[in-house]
Structure 1
């Protein structure tokens, strides 16, 4: 059953990537500087509320962090503000997924 949800999530991530989605890294700046996905935007979760103006409401967003906890919170916050966003979980999974595609 969890495999079905995982596949559905992968399909949605691919759809977002096909729409030129923004990769949003919500880890701290030091985490981002140590390891990141090229082309991603770093807005730490603690600063997200004050930096919403950096995000385009018309562009889909793929949120990720280190393990998935912060990206889940960021996704909920962004959805409540009207953004089209998906929680991709941890950076390792996102890197593997992008590499495959």
Structure 2
């Protein structure tokens, strides 16, 4: 079990899938909610959490999806660290190939 936070894995555990889509040669992130919620308050709470994760880790999610092989695949944070695409310094992710 990794101690690093993997945003796509955390989103998937909450029933949210993220895909990298390209429309008119302009890529964007598409968020798909797979789970139904009991009430409107629970749904709003999950949406706020998803917005917070995506705003904080947008570049990391983008990189995970960009390097993936296949439409449903993504690269885990451990893979990105092992291959030098990101570094973990002082508990933060730093982008850039060594």
TM-score, normalised by the number of residues in structure 2: 0.29
TM-score, normalised by the number of residues in structure 1: 0.28
Which structure: greater helix fraction? 1
Higher relative contact order, structure no. (Cα contacts within 8 Å, ≥ 6 residues apart): 1
Which structure: greater strand fraction? 2
